Structure 1
Amino acid sequence: MKKISILGCGWLGFPLAKKLIEKGNSIKGSTTSENKLSIFENAGISPFLVNLSEDEETLESESINNFLAESEILIIDIPPKLRTADPNSEKKIFVEKIENLIPFIEKSSVKKVLFVSSTSVYGDANTLITEETIPNPETESGKQLFLVENLLQKDKNFETTILRFGGLIGEDRHPVKFLAGKENLENPDAPVNLIHQNDCISIIEEIINQSKWNDVFNAVAPFHPTRAEYYTQKAIEKSLILPKFSFQKSNIKKVISSKKIENDLSYQFKLEHY
């Protein structure tokens, strides 16, 4: 049995926690919503209310210390949430939150950290992307994720593995719902780089079970039809209005390779979910 703390028990973290409990692990889960505490408890998750802050003085030290206490592994699965930030501000809100969290990790029992990042750290490069590709983030969230990756990996008090997920999909979450009926969508020939929630959970399990620490993995299903092909087919399957693509701007050919995950973890993606 491993003692694991999951910072951010949301769309991915909550089902991940339940799966890890099924496998006999002891799980602490954090949320920023008091309403979810009883839901966590009913699922067998030890619930903690944890609000990270970019301001050290407003951090709730006791709740963070208790959340990390006795755990050997910390999974950080919180999105940057930069939409409310001033786009003209130079303030790195997400980075500062993790900077303030790190001293608590250093003095805790945590020796392994798994940071859920994103393939957005690579920007829109027109090439095959592997873990050897040097990140070049273009979005603010991508830039802050990459800064946090470096912060965690350079800390010698614990070992950090970075897991960069592609576009997240699941039974209750699919981008075609937002694209249905829209017109003049760009990059129809761009390959999709998606990963299903079930694969996300299974890959995290394998990293923990196989002790793959101090590493970086890209996690995208080896399934790359074009945007136009894939989303048109999904709209038909879900009886949605077909999206319409503009072929005037079609220049991004970024493909994320998951060969390392397939080879190093001996992992097989569940392609029937796509």
Structure 2
Amino acid sequence: MTQISILGCGWLGLPLAKSLIAKRRSVNGSTTSENKLQILKDADINPFLVTLESESISETVIPFLAKSEILIIDIPPKLRVTNSDTSDSQRKVFVEKIKTLIPFIEQSNVKKVLFVSSTSVYGDENDLITEETTPNPETESGKQLLLAETLLQKNKNFETTILRFGGLIGEDRHPVKFLAGKENLENPDAPVNLIHQNDCINIIEEIIYQSKWNEVFNAVAPFHPTREEYYTQKAKEQGLVLPKFGVEKSNIKKIISSEKVENSLNYHFKLDVC
């Protein structure tokens, strides 16, 4: 039985671990909260309290990685840098965390790494985005994700697949709840690029089962209505106050293509987010 370690059992990592266990995989799961250790244990996940900082990592990372052949890294940058005077060291804190982690991966039995990234590594200047599109991140989190991707991909001690998700949604998570009732929202005619939690889990499992390593995949549901159309409809369905968009049209026409996921993995998206 192949053992898998999931660094970050949060909104996506926890249900992913449960799904893998249901398919008879052994899973080590990490959390930064002691209160969550029992939740992991109750789900038959081997629980580990792992704290990753820019210059240090808890010693529990050694048994967390021990005997695992596959490591899934699902820890978001959580950056909100707005001050242009912020130092480079502060800006690169996420990248430094990955640098701190890598030597421990090298010393473990891990030979395959799946890094959960984001389509934020792409800029808004292109109409159709594929895996061949040169990344040009505009946000600080996008910039750090791209640097982290590069660090992992260049390491010859293990094979890394990069999985770039679009906007994440699920039954308990939907951006329309934040947008409801807002006025003068930007980019009414920009296409949405979203993916449901269930599709995220299924795609990760297919990458593992089909051994698709040393690859880059974009993963976004192939349904791209405009922001105004989509969020207005979703607000109506959920009985929320309708969002109001500005009249000024934008030139953002970015559509993320998931053709590689569909063709290479023979994957069919299970849930129409529209």
Quickly name the TM-score band, shorter chain normalised. Answer: over 0.9
Which amino acid letter does the alignment assign opposite residue 10 of structure 1? G
Which amino acid letter does the alignment assign opposite residue 40 of structure 2? F
- Determine helix, strand or coil for the equivalent of 1:243: coil
Corresponding residue number in structure 2 for 1:90: 88
Matches within 5 A, 1:250-265: 250-265=250-265
For 2:20 and 2:138, how far apart are their aligned partners in 1?
34
TM-score of the pair, normalised by structure 2? 0.97
Specify every segment of 5 or more residues in structure 2 that has no aligned partner in the other structure, as ranges.
none
Specify every segment of 5 or more residues in structure 1 that has no aligned partner in the other structure, as ranges.
none
Matches within 5 A, 1:1-274: 1-56=1-56, 59-60=57-58, 62-83=59-80, 88-91=86-89, 92-274=92-274
Q: Deviations over 1:205-245 (max 9, x none)?
A: 00000000000000000000000000000000000000000
- Determine helix, strand or coil for the equivalent of 1:271: coil
- Determine helix, strand or coil for the equivalent of 2:183: coil
For 1:247 and 1:131, how far apart are their aligned partners in 2?
33
Q: Is the CA contact 2:114–2:161 (under 8 Å) kept in the aligned structure 1?
A: yes
- Determine helix, strand or coil for the equivalent of 2:88: coil
- Determine helix, strand or coil for the equivalent of 1:48: strand
For 1:86 and 1:7, how far apart are their aligned partners in 2?
30
Which amino acid letter does the alignment assign opposite residue 65 of structure 1? I
**CA deviation after TM superposition for structure 1 residue 86, in Å:** 6.6
Identity level (%)? 76
Q: Deviations over 1:22-58 (max 9, x none)?
A: 00000000000000000000000000000001123xx
For 1:81 and 1:51, how far apart are their aligned partners in 2?
15
For 2:130 and 2:258, how far apart are their aligned partners in 1?
7
Which amino acid letter does the alignment assign opposite residue 88 of structure 2? E
Aligned length, in residue pairs: 271
Q: Deviations over 1:93-121 (max 9, x none)?
A: 00000000000000100000000000000
For 2:143 and 2:166, how far apart are their aligned partners in 1?
16
For 1:176 and 1:55, how far apart are their aligned partners in 2?
38
Which amino acid letter does the alignment assign opposite residue 66 of structure 1? P
CA RMSD, 1 decimal = 1.2
Over 4 Å off, 4+ runs: 84-87
